[in-house]
Structure 1
């Protein structure tokens, strides 16, 4: 069963009964606010997630993510949640400091 653990949201766990879903969609469907200024189109980096573990359970990096990596707008270990598909298994992620919402409480 696919699972997302958001480490700096007090280890919040999201489980899904279906695989091959966009990470940001799973997060939003579970009532978690996650920034996405471009409307989930891969045109910005506001939805980036820091991947702590489970990279093998995500879709490969796509052209949009590759572009942002070469521009330095994404670092190694960061992915766009709107472009990353959770194939199966578990991923552990963190919200980037610059993308935290002021109305949410985060753990460290």
Structure 2
């Protein structure tokens, strides 16, 4: 009889541990999470990134420069994205593994312009495969026309 009482006590403790705490309404949180999960699942080709402190979205495989221009973030690019001037240099704060590997041309351009840090990339060449945080080396002020 003692074993049966212990089992009933154990079952009651398990139920209270599994049940959500009374008075805490997490339905709103669950609904928000489910909604965001549906959005992400519906658009697997879109990657969120942080560019100069602003959260923007980029198409998977797109360049950092393209994402900046499309989202109204000003970034210098004197040569027109031809890997020549290195004015679109960015410092990768986090997520460098989510960028494509650096090409020989990009490495040459960065060395030529004395930017040999492994965290420095050209925004016109770095393609995004996942979330990253970057800061421009030469930031510009103001908004792009039409924004």
Higher RCO by CA contacts (8 Å cutoff, separation 6 or greater): 1
- Scaled by the length of structure 2, the TM-score of the pair is 0.60
RMSD of the alignment, in Å? 1.8
Unaligned runs of 5+ in 1: none
Aligned partner (choices 40, 44, 48) of residue 3 of structure 1:
48
Alignment gaps of 5+ in structure 2: 1-45, 143-147
- Asked if the contact 1:65/1:74 (under 8 Å) is kept, the reply is no
Relative to its length, the structure with more strand (as a share) is: 1
Q: Name the one with the larger helix percent.
A: 2
From 4, 11, 24, give the equivalent of 2:65: 24
In our comparison, the structure showing a higher alpha carbon Rg is 2
| TM-score, with structure 1 as normaliser | 0.80
Distance 2:98 2:134 in 1: 12
Asked whether the equivalents of residues 86 and 113 of structure 2 are also in contact (C-alpha less than 8 Å), the reply is no
The Cα shift of 1:100 comes to 2.2
